[in-house]
Amino acid sequence: MDAAKECGFAVSLTFIIAALISLTTLLTFNSDELWEFRHKIFRINGTIDSDEDVMSPNLTSCHQSYGRDDLLVYCCPPENPQNLKFIDFKFPEPSKPLRVRKPAHLLDEDYISKYSRAVSIMKSLPYSDPRSFSRQANLHCIFCTGAYDQKYSNISLNIHRAWFFFPWHRMFLHFHERILGSLIGDDTFALPFWNWDSPEGMTIPEMYMNEPLNHKERDGSHFPPKVADIDFVDKESGLGPQEQIEKNLAMMYNQLVSGAKKTELFMGCSYYPGEGGTCDGPGTVELAPHNTLHTWVGSSFNPQREDMGAFYSAARDPLFYAHHSNIDRMWEVWREIHGKNLPISDPAWLGSYFYFYDENLQLVRIKVSDVLDLSKLRYAYEKVNLPWLNKRPKPSVSPKLARQVLNLRDTGGSRFLYAEFGGNARNLEASMTVKVYRPEYQRTKKEKEEEEEVLVVYGIDVESNMYVKFDVYVNIADEMKINPGFREFAGTFVRLPQARSTDIESRKSTLKLGISELIEDLEADGDDSIWVTLLPQTTSCMNTTIDGICIEYMR
């Protein structure tokens, strides 16, 4: 009865809202505005109106795409798309054994032998077989280079830099794992994860240095015992092993704990079908360590550090799957840290669907809502320590000393240059410091719990065929003595290179970073403004412009 009342209320409210908008007003809407209005109605209802209101690929639209500006790639499947038949995804039987994904650096010889055999068989399959390793790699290429259009428009579909990043890759790994297990007749087989968030796992796992898990297109200077740099730029950090580990742990704390307390900050922006639904706003972990480690692994001899350093080629490297297994694990860890009270309830996200071949050569349609419960998918992650959970960074200098420096800057007593945006985009050819006003300050504990203070860098326009990285800091006293291991670090923007030939790459991006905890630690909670510094980390930032910086509050 209560449910019926709620449903009736939602429907009634929908009609009331619709009635309040005159026919004249509706007729003046352009297609984007009309789509936006429709979606607001769907959210009130908690339902979707039709298949057009969820994201899905047009399987008949696969076309050539650009891996680089100078490289046209064709990743499309050989099957005639007109003849494709699919089934809807069904959960494995609850009685099926639970597949447990374990850290790669702790696996024994029996497992390594089993995994190697499965990959060898997968690599030996002909390209006509969708289970083959090359077809698996190309599936990632298709969805990451704009080779598919959206089902009901000619707009490219992309699964990066928005809220489909985590669920799509979970689907991809799920079917990849099932195929590997079936090839060796082992339904308990589980992919390993590269445990780069723990000191013991921060090097490339030894098992990936031998065939068939080895890959020639990697950076040889990053082979074991080199410690991975999860904040990699495009040059070496110069840090010793222990210093690198400490920096990595502080970075992990920021990306999963203090900087990602709200769903959008971690998952990315809300990306809907059609022109009016496009967005470009990746979450913290997609930026780093996801993008940064892709680049760190790829070969420095290749234009875009292929294979791992470029979307079109990344999944050719077996290490890709261990890397993304840990990325998938981070999704679960984040949910545990922040409580399971941060779900996305938007029906347009839950109902969106994609297609994958399973171990039986059957094309399967699977929805986002199908991959939100690991127990239903019959896999789990082995519990390991999270050493970065207690690595809350400390300020580079005492907040009192920093305040003296900032006061000098505020009164013009410093030669430090800074810029107000006005209405013009600013070029990031050099560091940029901007005074940003806080609409709300001296907030109560309850207000902070309800709303996260979010630093927004918007209108980011990059030279998309280059690796781009810049870091964001708050209230730094000396930019020459700062790095992401300090509390002033708010986050980083990282863009893997990709051709600008698609509508995907022509969009400006938005970076959103949670800073409530940072503001407290810098003792700036009572200030009506903060100083935000953007530090370019790559030469490509010379071709990067920013429209503005502001603060918003996110529930």
Secondary structure of 368-425 as H, E, C letters? HHHHCCHHHHCEEECCCCCHHHHCCCCCCCCHHHHHHHHHHHHCCCCCCCCCCCCCCC
Angle subtended at Cα 388 by Cα 512 and Cα 161, rounded to the nearest 5 degrees: 30
Q: Which residues, in sequence order, are bridge partners of residue 381?
A: 101
Q: What is the pLDDT of residue 341?
A: 59
Cβ atoms within 10 Å of 359's Cβ, excluding its own:
16
The pLDDT of residue 406 is above 50? yes
Looking at the DSSP assignment, which residues form a beta bridge with residue 193?
103
Q: Of 169, 174, 176, 323, which one is the catalytic site residue? A: 169
Quote the pLDDT of residue 391: 96
* Out of 193-207, 338-352, 468-482, least confident range: 338-352
Question: Residue 32 is encoded by which pair of tokens?
Answer: 């984007």
Q: Look up the CATH architecture of domain 399-554.
A: Sandwich (2.60)
- Quick: pLDDT tens for 188-238: 999 999 999 999 999 999 999 999 999 999 999 999 999 999 999 988 889
The sign of the dihedral angle between the CA atoms of 256, 293, 203, 121 is positive
- Maximum C-alpha span of the chain: 73
The least confident of 18-22, 96-100, 245-249, 316-320 is 18-22
Write the CA distances from 239 to 79, 204, 246, 248, 481, integer angstroms: 50, 18, 10, 11, 14
What's the Cα-to-Cα distance from 88 to each of 313, 355, 366, 553, rounded to whole Å? 29, 9, 6, 39
* Model pLDDT for residues 82-94, shown as the tens digit of each residue: 889 999 999 999 9
Catalytic residue among 89, 105, 133, 140: 140
Q: Which of 189, 324, 354, 493 is catalytic?
A: 324
Q: Which of 377, 373, 330, 372 is nearest to 358 (CA)?
A: 377
pLDDT at 18: 43
Cβ–Cβ < 8 Å for 507, 280 = yes
d(CA 329, CA 104): 13
Inter-residue contact 96 to 378 (CB < 8 Å)? yes
Specify the DSSP element, H or E, that contains 65: strand 65-68
Among this protein's residues, is 140 annotated catalytic? yes
In this predicted structure, the answer to whether residue 505 has a pLDDT above a threshold of 90 is no
Catalytically annotated residue among 89, 175, 311, 493: 311
Report d(CA 501, CA 464) in Å as an integer: 10
Catalytic residue among 165, 294, 356, 489: 294
Q: What does the block give as tokens for 334?
A: 């984040």
Q: Which amino acid is present at 281?
A: G
Tell me the C-alpha distance between 499 and 312, whole Å.
Answer: 10
306 — pLDDT class (breaks 50, 70, 90): very high
In whole angstroms, give the CA distance from residue 92 to residue 264. Answer: 30
Report CA torsion sign: 18, 21, 27, 33.
negative
The reply to whether 324 belongs to the active site is yes
370-395 burial, b at 16+ Cβ within 10 Å, e below that, comes to bbbebeebbbebeebebbbeebebeb
- Catalytic annotation present for 160: yes
500 compared with 29, residue with greater pLDDT: 500
Residue 502: which of 64, 182, 189 has the closest Cα? 64
DSSP-derived 3-state class of residue 278: coil
For 350, list phi and psi in degrees, rounded to 5.
-60, -35
pLDDT on residue 168: 99
- At 336, phi and psi to the nearest 5? -70, -40
Tokens for 132, please give them: 């083959």
pTM of the entire predicted model: 0.91
pLDDT of residue 233: 93
DSSP lists the bridge partners of residue 72 as: 66
**Local confidence band at 21 (pLDDT 50, 70, 90 cut-offs):** very low
* Phi, psi torsion values for 472, nearest 5 degrees: -120, 130
Interval 321-329 mean pLDDT: 99
The answer to which of 152-166, 494-508, 526-540 has the lowest mean pLDDT is: 494-508
The chain-wide mean pLDDT, for the chain, equals 89
Spell out the domain ranges in the chain. 2-47, 65-390, 399-554
By three-state DSSP, how is residue 307 classified? coil
Q: Which residue has the higher pLDDT, 349 or 411?
A: 349
Q: How many CB atoms lie within 10 A of CB 305?
A: 25
CA 355 – CA 54 distance, rounded (Å): 14
The CATH H-level (homologous superfamily) assignment of domain 65-390 is Di-copper center containing domain from catechol oxidase (1.10.1280.10)
CA-based nearest residue to 173, from 99, 79, 63, 273: 99
Could you tell me if 223 and 260 are in contact, meaning their C-beta atoms sit under 8 angstroms apart? no
**Least confident stretch, 202-206, 215-219, 344-348, 490-494:** 344-348
How many whole angstroms separate alpha carbon 288 and alpha carbon 327?
Answer: 10
pLDDT digits over 380-398, tens only?
A: 999 999 999 999 999 999 9
pLDDT at 141: 95
Question: Which entry of 174, 290, 323, 354 is annotated as an active-site residue?
Answer: 290
